[in-house]
Structure 1
Amino acid sequence: MDKQQRDKATNILFVAAENDALPQGKVGGIGDVIRDVPQFLANSEITVDVITPSYSMHAKHPRAVHRLAFDVDFYGRRETINLFQIALENQAYCQGEVNQWVLEHPLFSNAGEGAIYCDDGPDKPFASDATKFALFSIAVCQLVTDSWRDRTDILHLHDWHAAWVAILREYVAAFAPLKSKRCVYTIHNLALQGIRPLDGDASSLKAWYPQYDLAHADIIDPRYQNCVNPTRAAINLCDAVHAVSPTYAKEITLPSAPEFGFVGGEGLERDLFAAQQHGRLFGILNGCVYQQNTNIESFDDIAMAAISVWQQKAPDAEVHQQAKARLESWQHQECRGPIVTSIGRITAQKVAILLTLLDGRPALSHLLDKLASADGRLIILGSGDAELSQALAAISNDYQCCVFLNGYNAALSDSLFDVGSLFLMPSSFEPCGISQLLAMRAGQPCLVNQIGGLNDTVFDGKTGFSFSGNTPIELAQAMLDSFERALDCFKNEPVKWHSMINEAKAARFEWPTAIEQYKKDLYQC
């Protein structure tokens, strides 16, 4: 793209915590979106900038070039921020210009070099991360107000980490030029809202920005009146609000009801309903990149290599020893039934239904009883919450037909998609979900809870098996009933089973379709 074309093109700035276009730049699904959308969005009429913190890692990339140093006011003092641009060679789907940027400051590595998030525990939720992203956000505002004033046309903020930009754009006079730029907010996961105190804490709105009066009604949390809620602020202050599937966009306008097993607006349903009524809330399904897995290594080899790496990091972790022993025993046993796979972060969202007690035992134990009778196997891959991981490890250890791989490895994940017969994803809520799309791409029918993006992508009896219920216990029992249907189909209806494999492989949820909706509804360009 020459200078004249660039000057005429609309420039969209993606502001996010994760970016899987950069090495080790992701933790969850948001990183996939930030990697893929810019490539499919950029063309002769649109250029895209993507900016994240460096975390004292990305700025050391061999292709990183220092472009600018500038100061911001933070914690009542001047802080110097450094801007780096990283030129990437492999942007396979890109038809236009995508620029990768990172901001560097010592505070961006407050969780350790390369660590994107901190875990401060239940007593100080989001404290370290909120401070880090509050600095990141004011740096973005300063950059776009000054050096990039004529460069950026649209701001696209992703999740609460970038939501502070919306507050500063609205209420800080120095950043008034940002109001002329359209601002879009994407909700990737409403369960994480970044709530922090207004004042009285080192990690609070007043501590970060003492020079500004920011405590306005539309940014205060509706449940905790002494706290700022950046997610609520972005919902109320941005020109467009985007949920990552049509069903999820409807669910979050309703109040959550844990007693019925329903996760909705998580306290922000009134704000989201108002956004919907004003035509600012849009549900647009995430896409998937359809390419073949070129890995030729066997699952066993990849799994053993991954376990070896995990053991080096945690040599006393019994869960890794158990996994290695289980896989070694499987090499001498034939499996005649289905290989069920499950990949995802170990969080309550992902495993609460599996751990719901039925007749005094977790639903997962009942599921494994059924799988053992069918001579099948279950392979679970994931890391996350320590207590939940321990529960999964304990159950897995009791069943010869199950292995829990307590970590994450991209090659291992790809291999599991290829070797599996049925993909298990019984999330309590799911804004969109990427794992079910990758599983279907590889030809795995999916067993899912009929909510959020799972409802929009997996169709019962065609590409998988879905279930629903009105209480946690009903949901757990319904999951087991659907699992029995899947086992029966696998064993007794081979023609139907192979039809479902083919339907799953043929299902398409492609980014270009989503991008057209982005341009029409979110960007209006």
Structure 2
Amino acid sequence: MHVLMVAAENDALPNAKVGGVADVVRDCPKALVEKGLSVDVVIPDYGFDYLERHHIGVVHVPFAGQMQKLDVWKLANSDEGVTQLLISHWEFSRHNGAVYCNDEPGRPFATDASKFALFNAAVCEALLQGLIRTPDVVHLHDWHSACVALLLKTDSRYRKLAHLFLAYTVHNLALQGIRPFKGDSSSLEAWFPSLGYNGERLCDPRYFDCFNPMRTAINLVDKVHLVSPTYCQEVLRPSDAEKGFFGGEGLEADLQAAYEQGRVVGILNGCEYPGMKLDDISLASLYQHAENALFQWMAKSPVLDSSYYIAHQRLLKFKTQPFSGPLVTSVGRLTDQKALLLRQPYDKGLVLDELCQRLKQYNGYMIILGSGDAELEQIMTSVMARQENLLFLKGYAHFVGEYMYHLGDLFLMPSSFEPCGISQMLAMRAGQPCLVHGVGGLRDTVEHHVSGFSFHGESLASQSYELVTSFSDALELKKSQPEQWCAICEQAKNARFTWQSVAEGYLSGLYQ
């Protein structure tokens, strides 16, 4: 069996990772090859001309009223039976190597939607012309590749490819890439003016004049994959943000219909074992990497960011006045998905304030690594200014995260929803138990009082209370029952979520 994976990210290439989809596209193909499959992976060329690669050919694609020329490349260092492909166009690389772009208010996804629509059209054209070998399965990832399904299933130009089996993985249902059908330079009819389509199957269920790429793929493909069994069930129910439940995000009716047709499958993502080997796993090394990262972030602007200044002052304090209690860590993008509960009001402050105060009772401290939503970044900075045992590092530095996984005593991941999650797997792999909200992939990976700790709640208020209570309970268990704590750490370290089992799930449930 030959599989073609189409995605926006791929951590097998330098600087082509933003989120967890890049880990999947890097690791899963290797596991499929071990099962006897062959795999091609194609992403846009964000500026990889410095890599050794071979020119396969040129495709000319009618797009947005013009004929666009794109180049197809094969990387020379494709290894382990996985062929890495790139498609080049000035539109993909003009943003200084950035995978995604931020548009002005009122035009969400505009730049990216146009960019990925062109990329998808080029993938279809390369398949038609034989520049990309014809697969048995086309595996699409998230909304960025949804227009491949649209074109293969609705454009008469690709009629000879309409038989291809299409699998579609939803990594994050909260991001759907919605754009207008028409009336904008970034709209479906602007990209493909001659395309005939059924708007009822492609429109957003809330905004009927808008094209929803994710809904389109869900309705057109042969199989839809959610990245954990629990999340697969959660998305069949409508979201209720006021109660703190995040499910189908408007697409629950389509997912329910697909589920009843037997087209939906929930397969948990995997993790690589063993993990990265670090030379010196010590707090001194962590602090040095953190300071190096802070200096690099500071140097990007002539104006000193208050968050970096406070963080550096706090780091100096951590170095000179070490804590004797537990280290709580958290690594991840700062979005409401990850941090909604941390910013909920609690007593006279926020939940995060309360966690720091509870931690202070055990002479413990907390390090949070991540960036994202500007409002959340400011909230984290403000709490850091108030709580002397909190260090917030606004950004991402790979080695800082790796050391935090290895050195932390308790990993905090209170996501409001989590399709699968990778951070909890990385922390567990290093022997650090996690405190998680029992949703999605977190529920499927962390077993309460066995390999970690979990909490629940039927509203934001009850979830906040349960988070704080569970946090205190975990700290007390570590202090008063060290043998049980060590057993939990060992269970976390020995838990296995392998790509080999994922590949087996793909073969038995997704690719047929």
Q: Which residue of 2 aligns with 1:81?
A: 70
**TM-score by structure 2 length?**
0.97
Q: Which residue of 1 aligns with 2:375?
A: 387
Give a deviation string over 1:215-256, Cα, whole Å, max 9, x none.
Answer: 431111111110010100110100000000000000000000
Q: CA deviation at 1:334?
A: 2.7
Closer, same or farther: CA 408–149 of 1 in aligned 2, 3 Å: closer
The answer to whether the 8 Å contact 1:198/1:215 transfers is no
Q: CA deviation at 1:148?
A: 4.4
Q: Which residue of 2 aligns with 1:14?
A: 5
Give a deviation string over 1:322-375, Cα, whole Å, max 9, x none.
Answer: 111111111112312110000000111111000011234211111111011111
Question: What amino acid sits opposite 2:489 in the alignment?
Answer: I
Question: What amino acid sits opposite 1:98 in the alignment?
Answer: V
Question: What amino acid sits opposite 2:305 in the alignment?
Answer: A
Q: Which residue of 2 aligns with 1:207?
A: 190
Closer, same or farther: CA 23–260 of 1 in aligned 2, 3 Å: same
Alignment partner of 1:105 is 2:89: yes
Which runs of no fewer than 5 residues in structure 1 stay unpaired?
A: 1-9
The answer to whether the 8 Å contact 2:6/2:141 transfers is yes
The answer to whether the 8 Å contact 1:344/1:435 transfers is yes
Which of 287, 293, 298 does residue 276 from structure 2 map onto? 293
Q: Which residue of 2 aligns with 1:398?
A: 386
Which of 361, 366, 370 does residue 373 from structure 1 map onto? 361
Return the alpha-carbon distance in structure 2 between the equivalents of residues 334 and 128 of structure 1: 47
Return the alpha-carbon distance in structure 1 between the equivalents of residues 188 and 410 of structure 2: 47
Q: Which residue of 2 aligns with 1:515?
A: 503
Alignment of 1:95-134 (within 5 A): 97-110=81-94, 112-134=95-117
Alignment of 1:150-169 (within 5 A): 151-169=134-152
Q: Which residue of 1 aligns with 2:346?
A: 358
Q: Which residue of 1 aligns with 2:462?
A: 474
Alignment partner of 1:434 is 2:422: yes
Which SS does the other structure have where 1:486 is aligned?
helix
Question: What amino acid sits opposite 2:45 in the alignment?
Answer: S
Which of 217, 220, 234 does residue 251 from structure 1 map onto? 234
Q: CA deviation at 1:462?
A: 0.8
Question: What amino acid sits opposite 1:348 in the alignment?
Answer: D
Return the alpha-carbon distance in structure 2 between the equivalents of residues 382 and 419 of structure 1: 17
Which SS does the other structure have where 2:299 is aligned?
helix
Q: CA deviation at 1:44?
A: 7.1
Give a deviation string over 1:447-484, Cα, whole Å, max 9, x none.
Answer: 00000000000011011110011111111111000001
Which of 320, 324, 327 does residue 332 from structure 1 map onto? 320
Q: Which residue of 2 aligns with 1:4?
A: none
Q: Which residue of 2 aligns with 1:63?
A: 52
The answer to whether the 8 Å contact 2:35/2:503 transfers is no
Q: Which residue of 1 aligns with 2:155?
A: 172
Which SS does the other structure have where 1:413 is aligned?
helix
Give a deviation string over 1:244-296, Cα, whole Å, max 9, x none.
Answer: 00000000000001121100000000000111111110000000001143222
Give a deviation string over 1:286-332, Cα, whole Å, max 9, x none.
Answer: 00001143222411111111111111113421211211111111111
Q: Which residue of 2 aligns with 1:72?
A: 61
The answer to whether the 8 Å contact 1:420/1:444 transfers is yes
Return the alpha-carbon distance in structure 1 between the equivalents of residues 132 and 433 of structure 2: 48
With 149-158 and 322-331 compared, the bigger mean Cα shift is at: 149-158
Q: Number of residues paired by the alignment?
A: 507
Q: Which residue of 2 aligns with 1:7?
A: none
Closer, same or farther: CA 275–44 of 1 in aligned 2, 3 Å: closer
Return the alpha-carbon distance in structure 1 between the equivalents of residues 294 and 34 of structure 2: 42
Question: What amino acid sits opposite 1:100 in the alignment?
Answer: Q
Give a deviation string over 1:470-501, Cα, whole Å, max 9, x none.
Answer: 11111111100000111101111111111111
Q: CA deviation at 1:11?
A: 1.4
Q: CA deviation at 1:149?
A: 7.0
RMSD: 1.3
Give a deviation string over 1:160-194, Cα, whole Å, max 9, x none.
Answer: 00001111111100111222110000000000000
Q: Which residue of 1 aligns with 2:42?
A: 51
Return the alpha-carbon distance in structure 2 between the equivalents of residues 493 and 313 of structure 1: 46
The answer to whether the 8 Å contact 2:57/2:131 transfers is no
The answer to whether the 8 Å contact 2:20/2:421 transfers is yes
Question: What amino acid sits opposite 2:314 in the alignment?
Answer: R
Which SS does the other structure have where 2:160 is aligned?
helix
With 425-434 and 60-69 compared, the bigger mean Cα shift is at: 60-69
Q: Which residue of 2 aligns with 1:277?
A: 260
Question: What amino acid sits opposite 1:311 in the alignment?
Answer: M
Closer, same or farther: CA 105–292 of 1 in aligned 2, 3 Å: closer
Which SS does the other structure have where 1:241 is aligned?
strand
Q: Which residue of 1 aligns with 2:295?
A: 308
Which SS does the other structure have where 1:267 is aligned?
coil
